Structure 1
Amino acid sequence: MPLSIIATIVAHPEHREAVGTALRDMLAPTRVEPGCQQYDLHVDQADPLCWVMIERWADAAELEAHLHSPHMARLQSAIAGKAAGIDIQRLDLIA
């Protein structure tokens, strides 16, 4: 069953660019992963510290593989201590 992810990452002000770069570095390798149907990075118009990744995956197994990918490990390392908050929503696609 397809599922969507909305990942919201709020950067500490002094780390905004580093967080943004780390997130942008995820785009190319993730978009070619099996099961990735959408992987788009956004920034909040009202709060430039707030980055939002909108994802769609073919199924939970493909998402799980993504979560254990080398580029996900690099992202986690790159933003460690640089984010004021991270919120992950897992959504079932209805229509």
Structure 2
Amino acid sequence: MTIGIFATITPQPQHREAVEQELRLMVQHSRAEAGNLRYDLFLRDDGQAFDLFELYVDQAAVDAHRQSAHYQHYRAATADWLSAATQVRVVHALDLAPFSQSGERS
């Protein structure tokens, strides 16, 4: 079953740019993972918090992502830069628009 993850990351103001750089690096690596269908980064209207939308083919792909070197690097690098714990919501897809093999909507 396809699994979606919505995550909200709120950096301390003085670390916002550094967190964004680390997130962009993680996005690049995460999109290349086997089992990853989407990994999209958004900036909130307030310009201070980020949202990630992640989509995986199954729980094994989620687990592999969380064990990956780039995810572990991101967690270690940003541990002291966040103003709040990352909010994570895991959802199970019921009705998704079709995607091509490249991950783009068709």
Global fold match (TM > 0.5): yes
Larger RCO (CA under 8 A, 6+ residues apart): 1
> Which residue number corresponds to residue 71 of structure 2?
72
Structure 1: 5+ residue runs without aligned partners?
none
> Which residue number corresponds to residue 29 of structure 1?
29
Q: Distance in 1 between matches of 2:32 and 2:21?
A: 19
For normalisation by structure 2, the TM-score amounts to 0.86
For normalisation by structure 1, the TM-score amounts to 0.96
Q: Which runs of 4+ in 1 moved over 4 A?
A: none
> Which residue number corresponds to residue 56 of structure 1?
55
Q: Distance in 2 between matches of 1:29 and 1:22?
A: 11
Which structure has the larger Rg over C-alpha atoms?
Answer: 2
Equivalent pairs counted in the alignment come to 94
Q: What whole-Å deviation, never above 9, does each CA across 1:36-85 have from its counterpart, x for those lacking one?
A: 0000000001x211100101000011110000000001100111111112
> Which residue number corresponds to residue 16 of structure 2?
16
Q: What whole-Å deviation, never above 9, does each CA across 1:11-51 have from its counterpart, x for those lacking one?
A: 10111001101100111211110110000000001x21110
1:92 aligned to 2:92?
yes
Measured after TM superposition, the shift of residue 93 of structure 1 is 0.5
Identity %: 32
> Which residue number corresponds to residue 81 of structure 1?
80
Q: Distance in 1 between matches of 2:29 and 2:63?
A: 15
> Which residue number corresponds to residue 39 of structure 1?
39
Amino acid at match of 1:69: S
Select the structure that is richer in strand: 1
